[in-house]
Amino acid sequence: MKLISKIKRMMALTTAILLLGICIPQYAGTVSAATSTWTTKTSSGIDGDFYAAAYDGTSLLAVSFSSFNSGHLYKLNGMGNWVQQTISFTPALADNTYTLSYIMYTGTKWVLTGMKLGTGGYDSFLATSSDGILWNIASNCSIVNTSYGQGNLFGASFHGNTYVAVGGINGSVDGQIMTSTDGGATCTSTQSDNSMFYGVTYANNLFVAVGNNGIIYTSSDGLNWTLRDSHISGPLDGIAYGNGHFVAVGANGDVAVSADGTTWTASKISGAVLYAITYANGLFVAGGESQFYSSSDDGSNWEAEAASPSLGSHYINMMMYNNGQFLAFGSGGVSATRISVSTDSTISPATGSFDKNPANQADISTTMTLNGNTLSGIANGAAPLVSGTDYSVSG
């Protein structure tokens, strides 16, 4: 489907040709921006599901896991293949004793979250790195496992040296927000809730955290949090900011929109299952199970976008904008890139004829429809025509 409604300018093209018996000449510069689609790829050799990715301007890193004791970090090489990285932690974590859930880049360091084997189960952790290989685990960042499940941190965001990571106990209970004000050296639990937290972002001088049962918390400093009413009872899995609005999406197709983080408006995309959202270049894009969606306004209006090959049973866990492209990452090692599908501009009629008698020759008019591009010139075969002499354009 078409992503953004383009204003189609109708231009009346009048062509005067002195040659006889030729068709209306072709015009140059005809390829335009048009509808959008996603190209999907399932990478071999990925252990489990992609859960997050981040870019530092040089390297694109992604994390995956398939079970509680299987977490891996991958780097995209120049051939477009993911290469597993050999990483180490301080304090040391033995292989097959941790899993990875999220990664981000702050501009100065990498930040990684996940679960590590503790007493009786798995506890959450947060670690930082300057090179993506050697990681230092922050102190006091553990959400300790309980009889309900394992502790984990599913998402993170930052402002300066303040890092906020969100999660809880697997099983959608006992949500926790962990905050570090010293660049990831130590953490403090700054907010709890009966519902799990799934995502957090920082924008417009505000941290906004979302989670199960429609919970939304906001904080200006990452330390003191206020519960907001999302008017949604289902889960909110992802959140992004753009075009002056926070937009959160959830697995039940729910969408929550706010200009200030305080007052939220709820809506729903019928049939959608959404786990992730991002914003760039005037566009929100969201993904989840089977489908991608986009919104060019404040998240109030959405259009479905196709994927080729289809996502099938795969689902999207995380989305980002990187190096001029929207990217998505998900289950079974699937990744996707959003591309523009070129649609030519059109002219009607596309052919014309002239009277062989010079006395009866006359101008021929045709209508040109431009699909988001501009007219750069008109040529008769390889010979360019002169505007104002050979043809004129109006409209």
CATH number of the domain enclosing 74: 2.130.10.10
The helix or strand, by DSSP H or E, that contains position 90, with its residue range, turns out to be strand 88-90
Does 179 lie in the same domain as 142? yes
Q: Which of 339, 365, 380 is the last residue of a domain?
A: 339
Same domain, 15 and 108: no
- Identify whether 30 is part of a domain: yes
Asked whether residue 291 falls in the same domain as residue 187, the answer is yes
Specify whether 154 is located in the same domain as 121.
yes
* 1 is a domain residue: no
Q: Are residues 380 and 249 in the same domain?
A: no
Whether 19 is in a domain gets the answer yes
The Cα 315–Cα 331 span in angstroms is: 6
Q: What is the DSSP letter of 80?
A: S
Classify the phi-psi angles of 328: left when phi > 0, otherwise alpha if psi is within -120 to 50, otherwise beta. beta
Mean pLDDT taken over the chain: 86
pLDDT at 340: 58
CB 215 within 8 A of CB 175: yes
Among 339, 357, 376, the domain-final residue is: 339
**214 and 324 assigned to the same domain:** yes
Torsion of CA 50, 72, 59, 313, to 10 degrees: -10
Q: Tell me the mean pLDDT in the region 204-226.
A: 99
- Per-residue pLDDT tens for 281-300? 999 999 999 889 999 999 99
Q: Which two tokens stand for residue 55?
A: 């870019």
Residue pLDDT, tens place only, 101-150:
999 999 999 999 999 999 989 999 999 999 999 999 999 999 999 888 89
- Please state the rounded mean pLDDT for residues 69-84: 92
Measured CA to CA, the distance from residue 145 to residue 289 in angstroms comes to 29
- DSSP labels for 1-68? --SS----EEEEEEE---SSS-PPPPEE-------EEEEEEE-TT--SEEEEEEE-SS-EEEEEEEET
User: Is 2 inside a domain boundary?
Assistant: no
Which pLDDT value is given to residue 355? 65
For residue 383, give its domain range.
9-34+343-394
Q: How far is CA 1 from CA 4, 303, 382, in A?
A: 9, 7, 35
263: pLDDT strictly greater than 80? yes
- Give the HSE-up count for residue 349: Cα atoms under 13 Å, Cβ half-sphere: 8
Residues 19 and 119 in one domain: no
pLDDT at 372: 52
Q: Which of 339, 356, 381 is the last residue of a domain?
A: 339
- Whether the pTM exceeds 0.75: the reply is yes
Question: Do 269 and 171 belong together in one domain?
Answer: yes
Q: Identify whether residues 72 and 200 lie together within a single domain.
A: yes
For residue 343, give every residue at least 6 positions away whose Cβ sits within 8 Å of its Cβ, in sequence order, or none: 32, 34, 35, 371
Q: What is the pLDDT of residue 352?
A: 66
SS3 333: helix
In a domain, 4, yes or no: no
Sequence-separated (6 or more) residues with CB below 8 Å from residue 323: 55
Closest among 212, 242, 285, 194 to 3, alpha carbons compared = 285
pLDDT at 82 over 80: yes
Tell which phi-psi region holds residue 391, choosing left (phi > 0), alpha (psi between -120 and 50) or beta.
beta
335 plus 377 within the same structural domain: no
Over the stretch 298-337, which tens digit does the pLDDT of each residue have?
A: 999 999 998 999 999 999 999 999 988 999 999 999 999 9
Q: Domains in the chain: how many in total?
A: 2
pLDDT of residue 112: 99
Q: Say if residue 167 is in the same domain as residue 87.
A: yes
Are both 282 and 352 inside the same structural domain? no
Mean pLDDT of 86-105: 95
Residue 3 included in any domain: no
